[in-house]
Chain A
């Protein structure tokens, strides 16, 4: 049984070994902290219940369309199918609600902020029992068909847009042409289920009635749209499979009766799938987060092996004390208790640090992964995590003590005092020690090779020129409000006038009107063909641009010319294409001035002439797609590229004022610097680069501690031998060289095993790993590990080679 005296003795002993304590606390603190953070994440995602009442009975009903029995469109619904399901009087569910999401601008505010909107029926927030910060939720009188102009805003909107105005209730804000009265603010701790993209948070909740514009859509059973859902709460004991069958049958009967005679829909059927909230929110995240947990566990195990070595080295140093205790009658248990007390103190400190590290880890996860991992906003260190930390800490302490005490040969300890200071009480064979080093080196080298490879790729992406300018260029998205439904010609004229208005602003150097920029493509695809029969057609991204687009972005023409101002104003049969598309149209890419047939989305077969070929762009992580540009004012999704004069900024208010000169309906939805778009594109790379840099340092640190642990233990065992060598004339440098030589064999073997593993992995992946460009990636890991071995050899031999030989021989 451990006594306070054991702890006091252990504490005093540890006070004299600050380096030892520091190393173990840091090693275990960081790795255990990482494991606790990952455990917490896994618990939150895979085990913790959703923060909604009866969460296991909440389901999202996803619509699917099947053609000839095969899934043709997933997660799509027609408006009338949804509404009929919602209105259905059959008593299948406790509650039902509708939801669809969008984006809009708040027109009543001068900076017209763009917000995420969710259109819902009143039951939606009730299903979630959404807590309110201020005001109330929608009531039944504000449901389907009531067209009540009331809204609920999120806590975040109240904070950011209204600066926590306490009198916010009953104030109005305008979307489109409707002014809505604010009736409530959701509570700060309310967390909505994120069905439509991880990290997407609703800013404003509006009544469902305002979700759809067209009359036709409201009655068309064949207009299938994604992103609109029926959500339900099942009755206790109800089987979702049974309900799926019933609902599918009902909806298909209606669909059959209502679908048009179009041949496309003739063999189309629809159906529904009930997906639990948990599954709908988490998706297939389980595998990924479990992998993270396994990674953290592997790191802790490596750290544990390293710490075992350090403890063994320390125990080896303390053998004489143990021998004296044994000679005085100490039982094995006494020695074990002494060890356990020391280890418990160190582990307790490490667990404290681990708790801090996991707190930081959780905050980092919340900050950096809220767009990648669902439910991270709910993360907090729970009692389960605290319990996990304690269990892991205690398990480690007992495991270390058990392992080390089993390495102590109690009988040999009794002989130790008689046989001088050579020591025989604790011994781990050279083979095991070499295996430990080999394992460390192999693991570290593989990890370093992989990390450096990723790091190199990420850095290459970060430094890679895009092929166009982003400096001082801003993308301005336009919200056209009611103008969306005005005739194209009127909109076109308005947009040309707006261009002229913008041009008068002293901060603007140049501008372009367009459908999308090279980074933020809306993904509009079309086809070109060399023959009118369209037998061979080539797919391409299509962008509608003006004659300034190429100039503003400083894109390079490989051949031909840019559009002219007249071609843009009057419309022309000219196109610009990129090199990738030119080579698709014709192998040699020599298609300048050639004519091709454009299908125009199936509307016709116009002939267009290639007037210019642009150099391909180099977007990071994206293979350059074939691109085609037409000189045309976009019909929808109108955006401007503004090139500002150096060191200038422009606000929404300034642009809205100019827009007001043309038509009050036009408002700026968003101004995004192109440099920011570039940064977003690089997020993955920046994250990868940072993570791999940290991982590389951690791997190196762990390897250093691990190798040092083994070496210092080995050197400790050979201390007497080194003393003899020094007595007969070995200089300190020769002792160091002896230590280094002995260590290099397992290190080289480890490097060979690592190279074989990396080679095997590359072979299995069939990766085109370029030896030439990644030479540094190949050379750096062995160089780092060899330097590390030299440094740790020096460090472990340091306490011998800096002492006079007499002290080494005495074992001081």
Chain B
């Protein structure tokens, strides 16, 4: 039996202002299993980024239930969410989101420095170098992000996402800011990570990259309109 990494039931997200309510997500049911590579597609404004924010506990749902590895994380406070995010989730952003003032090494080490239980500097060094090796960037450890190319920066971002050994890697348009050669390289790296057992959930516009995933979710107006398992080419479920 496959091990469930996360599951969402009836998740909604409403952004309220004085004048109006905007329903970004309207009842999402989703299950992601250990080792899955899920891609989320859909037109602009369909709720992809909101769903990714909720998956990564960067934001909390308005209603619904959300479990990560069996733990209810639907309504955590900011500190509790930060702990779970730090230990269970890794992020890769479209615009890399590296901190310019920190070296590559310190950028990658950042999640370890926010651990609930202090990690020794020796362990941090070991893990950071391991991750930099995975993305083949060890030689750039003491550089600043702005000294690197876009592709290199995204590899550093991947290393940072991996350093905490997360249960789930959330990837937001990882190739959006890269040329096709660098984009392909990054996607290859992500596929390799998945092949090694990392669970991935990726938002992308690019159908070519979306098809690299094992499961493809289509979002429209805040709802998942269909889910495809790409390895078999069959539509498994329609959840509208």
- Taking a contact as CB atoms under 8 Å apart, the answer to whether A731 and B60 are in contact is no
| B75-103 interface (Cβ within 8 A of A) | 78-79, 81-83, 85-87, 91, 93, 95, 97-99, 101
- Taking a contact as CB atoms under 8 Å apart, the answer to whether B59 and A728 are in contact is no
A730 at the binding interface (Cβ < 8 Å): yes
B35 at the binding interface (Cβ < 8 Å): no
CA–CA, A726 to B59, complex, Å? 11
Q: Could you say which of B58, B82, B98 contacts A731, with CB atoms under 8 Å apart?
A: B82
A721 at the binding interface (Cβ < 8 Å): yes
- Taking a contact as CB atoms under 8 Å apart, the answer to whether B58 and A725 are in contact is no
Chain A positions within 8 Å of B81 at CB level: 804
Chain A positions within 8 Å of B97 at CB level: 720, 723-724, 727, 809
Chain B positions within 8 Å of A807 at CB level: 59
A430: nearest chain-B partner, CB-CB: B101
Q: Could you say which of A420, A727, A802 contacts B58, with CB atoms under 8 Å apart?
A: A727
- Taking a contact as CB atoms under 8 Å apart, the answer to whether B59 and A806 are in contact is yes
What is the minimal beta-carbon distance from B95 to any residue of chain A, in angstroms? 5
CA–CA, A802 to B81, complex, Å? 12
A804: nearest chain-B partner, CB-CB: B59
A721 with B99: in contact, given A729-B83, A729-B87, A731-B79 (CB under 8 Å)? yes
Interface of A is mostly: helix
Q: How many residues of B contact A (CB 8 A)?
A: 26
Chain B positions within 8 Å of A641 at CB level: none
- Contact mask A781-808 → B, CB, 8 Å, 1/0? 0000000000000000000011011110
A776 at the binding interface (Cβ < 8 Å): no
CA–CA, A726 to B58, complex, Å? 8
Q: Could you say which of A720, A728, A801, A805 contacts B111, with CB atoms under 8 Å apart?
A: A728
B26 at the binding interface (Cβ < 8 Å): no
Q: Could you say which of B78, B110, B115 contacts A802, with CB atoms under 8 Å apart?
A: B78
CA–CA, A725 to B95, complex, Å? 15
CA–CA, A726 to B99, complex, Å? 12
- Taking a contact as CB atoms under 8 Å apart, the answer to whether B114 and A732 are in contact is no
CA–CA, A656 to B86, complex, Å? 90
A734 at the binding interface (Cβ < 8 Å): yes
A812: nearest chain-B partner, CB-CB: B15
Q: Which of B53, B78, B85, B111 has the most CB of A within 10 A?
A: B78
- Taking a contact as CB atoms under 8 Å apart, the answer to whether B58 and A728 are in contact is no
Chain A positions within 8 Å of B110 at CB level: 725, 728, 730
Q: Could you say which of B59, B93, B101 contacts A721, with CB atoms under 8 Å apart?
A: B101
B174 at the binding interface (Cβ < 8 Å): no
B216 at the binding interface (Cβ < 8 Å): no
What is the minimal beta-carbon distance from B207 to any residue of chain A, in angstroms? 25
| B58-83 interface (Cβ within 8 A of A) | 58-60, 78-79, 81-83
A806 with B114: in contact, given A420-B95, A721-B101, A731-B78 (CB under 8 Å)? no
- Taking a contact as CB atoms under 8 Å apart, the answer to whether B99 and A724 are in contact is yes
A803: nearest chain-B partner, CB-CB: B78
B56 at the binding interface (Cβ < 8 Å): yes
B215 at the binding interface (Cβ < 8 Å): no
- Taking a contact as CB atoms under 8 Å apart, the answer to whether B95 and A729 are in contact is no
B177: nearest chain-A partner, CB-CB: A420
B160 at the binding interface (Cβ < 8 Å): yes
Chain B positions within 8 Å of A727 at CB level: 56, 58, 85, 91, 93, 97
- Taking a contact as CB atoms under 8 Å apart, the answer to whether A804 and B85 are in contact is no
A733 at the binding interface (Cβ < 8 Å): yes
- Taking a contact as CB atoms under 8 Å apart, the answer to whether A728 and B114 are in contact is yes
Chain B positions within 8 Å of A728 at CB level: 85-86, 91, 110-111, 114, 160, 164
- Taking a contact as CB atoms under 8 Å apart, the answer to whether A729 and B82 are in contact is yes
Q: Which of A725, A728, A805 has the most CB of B within 10 A?
A: A728
29 A-B residue pairs with Cβ-Cβ distance under 8 Å, sorted by A, are A420-B95, A720-B97, A721-B99, A724-B98, A727-B56, A727-B58, A727-B85, A728-B91, A729-B83, A729-B85, A729-B87, A729-B111, A729-B164, A730-B86, A730-B110, A730-B114, A731-B78, A731-B79, A731-B82, A732-B78, A732-B79, A733-B79, A802-B78, A804-B59, A804-B78, A805-B58, A805-B59, A806-B58, A809-B97
Known: A727-B58, A804-B81. 4 other contacts (CB 8 A): A721-B99, A732-B78, A802-B78, A804-B53
